[in-house]
Amino acid sequence: MSVAVITGGGGDIGGAVATRLAQDGWTVIVTDVDPAAARLVAERLPRAHARRLDVADPDDIGAFVSSAASDFGRVDAVVCAAGIEPPQNLADIDVASWDRTQDVNLRGPALLAQAVLPLWTEQRSGSLVNIGSRTWLGGGHPGYAASKAGLVGLTRSLAMELAPIGVRVNAVAPSFVRTGFSRQRGDERMLDDYAERVRAMTPMRELVLPVDVANAVAFLASDQAARITGEVLHVCAGSQLPMFLH
Ligand SMILES: NC(=O)c1ccc[n+]([C@@H]2O[C@H](COP(=O)([O-])OP(=O)(O)OC[C@H]3O[C@@H](n4cnc5c(N)ncnc54)[C@H](O)[C@@H]3O)[C@@H](O)[C@H]2O)c1
């Protein structure tokens, strides 16, 4: 039995990841700060379990990992998909939302990896896949882009630190995906307009879908990526490329 934990698993990308990993035969623990959202995803999948987990709360992380260790005995993959993006430019940033963004998007994956480390050390295997964002490269809302750039630094640092115990650490960096997340930007009409502008500027003239992100995560989490660590896999339909050349 291979066990995967997904944070933000009640969301669109986390839900797509849970679905793909369940299809691949994983036992999936779908976690979310919103327990009803996690349940909705888990109840339609085989070998899936729903748990409430707030990744911004260190005590919650510790309690969750203890209970997962006693219920399942092992954790083979952790996929950090929980994320928030307050739509704030520099002038709008306030300390509380800046801190909250870093706590969810950056500190959460670090503390979750730390809590799972004793299991990974015992297993001498494991895989951590962080959902980053193309904004780490191209910029975006400053607090959000900073958290996702930090996540790349965390990914590469943990890849170095955990390689000797057989744990691989990678990131998947999507561009805009139309999800519950993007609704933080505005109403449906604004989103239609935004999505069309993104599509038109993207080299492949395509929008990225949750399933595209899930496919990349499934590869990196699996043994097919056995000797891949410290990478950032962009799922961007080409929008990570330096478009000013064209
Ligand atoms: N949608 C996009 O355009 C896009 C682009 C690039 C990267 N991402 C990243 O993909 C990930 C998933 O986003 P999505 O588009 O599926 O959004 P979503 O809003 O559909 O899902 C995010 C999930 O995270 C959960 N969450 C929020 N705070 C949490 C916390 N403190 N603890 C645990 N769970 C929490 C939410 O309840 C939600 O279910 C995020 O990390 C996001 O930064 C999204």
For 31-88, the pLDDT digits (tens) are 999 999 999 999 999 999 999 999 999 999 999 999 999 999 999 999 999 999 999 9
Containing 87, the helix (H) or strand (E) segment is none
Q: Which CATH number characterizes residue 187's domain?
A: 3.40.50.720
Is pLDDT of 180 > 90? no
Domain span at residue 225 reads 3-237
Is pLDDT of 246 > 80? no
Q: Which residues contact 163 (CB under 8 A, 6 or more apart)?
A: 229
pLDDT (tens digit per residue) in 1-36: 999 999 999 999 999 999 999 999 999 999 999 999
Does the residue 9 lie in any domain?
Answer: yes
**Ligand 1, CB cutoff 6 Å, lining residues:** 7-8, 10-14, 32-34, 37, 53-56, 81-84, 104, 131, 133, 174, 176-177, 179-182
Which residues is 208 bridged to in the sheet?
177
Does the residue 242 lie in any domain?
Answer: no
Mean pLDDT of 191-212: 95
Burial state string for 191-215 with b = 16 or more CB within 10 A and e = fewer than 16? eeeeeeebeeebeeeebbbbebbbb
Residue 186 has what pLDDT? 73
Strands 126-131, 167-174: pairing is parallel
Cα–Cα distance, 97 to 95 (Å, whole number): 6
Q: Which of 100, 134, 181, 212 to mutate to test the pocket of ligand 1 (most atoms within 8 A of CB)?
A: 181
pLDDT (tens digit per residue) in 116-172: 999 999 999 999 999 999 999 999 999 999 999 999 999 999 999 999 999 999 999
If you compute the radius of gyration of the chain from its CA atoms, what whole number of angstroms results?
17
Residue 187 has what pLDDT? 83
Give the pLDDT band (50/70/90) at residue 244: low
Does the residue 244 lie in any domain?
Answer: no
Going by the DSSP 8-state scheme, the letter that residue 173 receives in this structure is E
Q: Distance from the CA of 130 to the center of ligand 1, in angstroms?
A: 11
Residue 181 has what pLDDT? 79
Based on the structure, what is the number of domains in the chain?
1
Does the residue 245 lie in any domain?
Answer: no
